[in-house]
Amino acid sequence: MTPRRVAVTGMGVFSACGRNAREFWEAMKAGRSGIGPLEGFAGFRITTGAQISGYDAAAHLDPKDADLIDRFAQYGLIAAREAVAAAGIEFTPESRLSTGVITGSCLGGKVAEDEAFRQLYADGNPRVHPMTIPRIMANAAASRIGLEWGLTGASFTLATACSSANHALAHAFWMVRQGSLEMAIAGGSEAPFSVAHLRAWEAIRVVSPDTCRPFSLGRRGLSLGEGAAMLILEPLDRARARGAEVLGEIVGAGMSADAHHITQPSAEGAARAMRLALEDAGLAPAQIGYINAHGTGTQANDATEARAIHAVFGGHASRLVVSSTKSMHGHALGAAGALEAAATVMALRSGILPPTANFVEADPACDLDVAPNQARHTGTGYALSNSFAFGGLNAVLAFARA
Amino acid sequence: MQPDIVTRVIGVIAKTQHIPVEAIKPESLFQELNIDSMDGINIVFALENEFGVQISDEDAKSIRGVPDVVEGIEKLLRQKAE
């Protein structure tokens, strides 16, 4: 039996670069970075990030509902609502049974956790809010999204640091392809701007003091970002049968673990995940025209990722466009792969490859065409999107133009 | 029932449930106000803060409406004063 093809029929995005998928893509095409001065963290060494400024939960959720879930789950729900509406889905009792929600989250409800622990340790108040547990749990976004439409298919949350959303999308893709789900709402969401968590990033010294300049000389680290992106995945034939607009396809996924170092990346592990994604998709390296890179903007990641791409693609590496949209939406950790999936689907669909923003000068250690600062108007049929996590857990997705 | 305690209890319920004070009467039951058991836990937490008392898990489970809450709070405040 031929495996089912898996279509992307809806997307929702909530990020510093745009509060919906259309605004987000406009920013990506224009190379407009959402990284700017952080609000609410005076006296921190980290002064910039891709923050959703002026976020007001009451504008999106009933106030009582907003009390029950942390900001990261709220972002996930907002993105899921947009994706479901965009896909034109009207759930039925039958379709609810076979629709699952598969999300990535690196951190869970850090904002809520921080507030609870501040009361506990700083105020000496032994009593924390009764909803602290449901607010903190990493699966809160998946659960809350499922509740929105009464979805009772297989649903879960994966936490693999910066690869969380790619692992989630990969599993959702495989489950739809093999028939375990007829539809999935999949992606990731993250709200990493909390006092204690930001201090932890300061301590590990990988965050840039100004902005994120992936693959560029003078790059000084990553910039944290927040937000969510959710994709609707369903079998291509079913999508066509119901008259849905097919935005693109996920055609393969590959995963690997470095087992090399708790923070240092490994070119070998990254290369293996890319090769496995190509193999799963039945694609030859030369068919790929674009890679949405992990591209964090750290010294170690970008040079290692460049080596991995050269190892996989050989001579074709110089004909690829490899850009890092983290230069715009920041590193949204457990949401990163989902934001990048949205950008990659739109890139294939529009024939416009988003640039690497904030680029200053080519680094010989990253000898790739990274579309510096300007989008590339080059149509291509197939793309990869890379995620390589702290802890060495890698997940790569392969996409096709619809 | 002491009127000021009734007013404060209604204020706490209104605030935690995001409903107008006018919608809650001294005789209102939670069921009528669409307040479920999880909402009840939030209300108990807010009542403990408001009145500076500790409500046992058993008492927390048994409250069904404003009259129960007011009665319980009055009892706890009396115990506290003794």
- Clarify whether residues A35 and A152 are in a common domain: yes
**CATH number for the domain including A296?**
3.40.47.10
Contacts of B49 in chain A (CB under 8 A): 127
Interface membership of A129 toward B (CB under 8 Å): yes
pLDDT tens string A7-64? 999 999 999 999 999 999 999 999 999 999 999 999 999 999 999 999 999 999 999 8
**CATH number for the domain including B71?**
1.10.1200.10
A130/B48 Cβ within 8 A: no
Contact in structure between A345 and A87 (CB atoms under 8 Å): no
Angle at A168 between CA A357 and CA A277, to 5 degrees: 75
- Clarify whether residues A279 and A167 are in a common domain: no
Instruction: Determine the Cα–Cα distance for residues A267 and A304; give it in Å rounded to an integer.
Output: 5
pLDDT higher than threshold 90 for residue B3: no
Identify whether A294 is a catalytic site residue: yes
Give chain A's domain count.
2
Which residues, listed in sequence order, are joined to residue A351 by a DSSP beta bridge? none
Range of the domain at B28: 3-81
Identify whether A329 is a catalytic site residue: no
> Using the 8-state DSSP alphabet, how is residue A119 labeled?
I
- Clarify whether residues A316 and A231 are in a common domain: no
Q: How confident is the model at residue B82 (pLDDT cuts 50, 70, 90)?
A: confident
Contact in structure between A283 and A383 (CB atoms under 8 Å): no
Residue B17 distance to chain A (closest CA, Å): 6
Q: Which of A17, A106, A162, A366 is catalytic?
A: A162
Tens-digit pLDDT profile for chain A (402 aa)?
Answer: 678 999 999 999 999 999 999 999 999 999 999 999 999 999 999 999 999 999 999 999 999 899 999 999 999 999 999 999 999 999 999 999 999 999 999 999 999 999 999 999 999 998 999 999 999 999 999 999 999 999 999 999 999 999 999 999 999 999 999 999 999 999 999 999 999 999 999 999 999 999 999 999 999 999 999 999 999 999 999 999 999 999 999 999 999 999 999 989 999 999 999 999 999 999 999 999 999 999 999 999 999 999 999 999 999 999 999 999 999 999 999 999 999 999 999 999 999 999 999 999 999 999 999 999 999 999 999 999 999 999 999 999 999 999
Contacts of A63 in chain B (CB under 8 A): 18
- Clarify whether residues A11 and A139 are in a common domain: yes
Please check whether residue A246 lies inside any domain of the structure: no
Amino acid A23: pLDDT = 98
pLDDT tens string B49-78? 999 999 998 899 889 999 999 999 999 999
B44/A130 Cβ within 8 A: yes
Average pLDDT, chain A: 97
Amino acid A116: pLDDT = 95
Amino acid A79: pLDDT = 98
Is residue A56 classed exposed, middle or buried when 0-12, 13-18 and 19+ CB atoms within 10 A define those classes? exposed
pLDDT higher than threshold 80 for residue B1: no
Instruction: Determine the Cα–Cα distance for residues B72 and B69; give it in Å rounded to an integer.
Output: 5
Q: Which of A62, A63, A130 sits opposite B41 (nearest CB)?
A: A130
Amino acid A363: pLDDT = 98
- Clarify whether residues A43 and A127 are in a common domain: yes
Contacts of B39 in chain A (CB under 8 A): 64
Amino acid A380: pLDDT = 97
* Assigned token pair, B58: 């058993």
Range of the domain at A364: 251-401
- Clarify whether residues A121 and A211 are in a common domain: yes
Last residue of a domain, one of A207, A241, A275: A241
Residue B48 distance to chain A (closest CA, Å): 10
To test the contact with chain A by mutation, choose from B45, B48, B50, B55 the residue with the greatest count of A C-beta atoms within 10 A, namely B45
Q: Which of A62, A64, A130 sits opposite B45 (nearest CB)?
A: A130
Q: Which of B36, B57, B59, B68 is catalytic?
A: B36
Residue A131 distance to chain B (closest CA, Å): 7
Q: Which of B17, B41, B49 sits opposite A64 (nearest CB)?
A: B17
Last residue of a domain, one of A241, A259, A284: A241
- Clarify whether residues A262 and A231 are in a common domain: no
Which residues, listed in sequence order, are joined to residue A235 by a DSSP beta bridge? A6
Number of Cβ within 10 Å of residue B20's Cβ equals 8
* Assigned token pair, A268: 């070998």
DSSP, residue by residue, chain B: --HHHHHHHHHHHHHHHT--GGG--TT-BTGGGT--HHHHHHHHHHHHHHHT----HHHHHH--BHHHHHHHHHHHHHHHH-
Amino acid A3: pLDDT = 85
Last residue of a domain, one of A210, A241, A272: A241
Instruction: Determine the Cα–Cα distance for residues B74 and B55; give it in Å rounded to an integer.
Output: 12
Instruction: Determine the Cα–Cα distance for residues A344 and A385; give it in Å rounded to an integer.
Output: 7
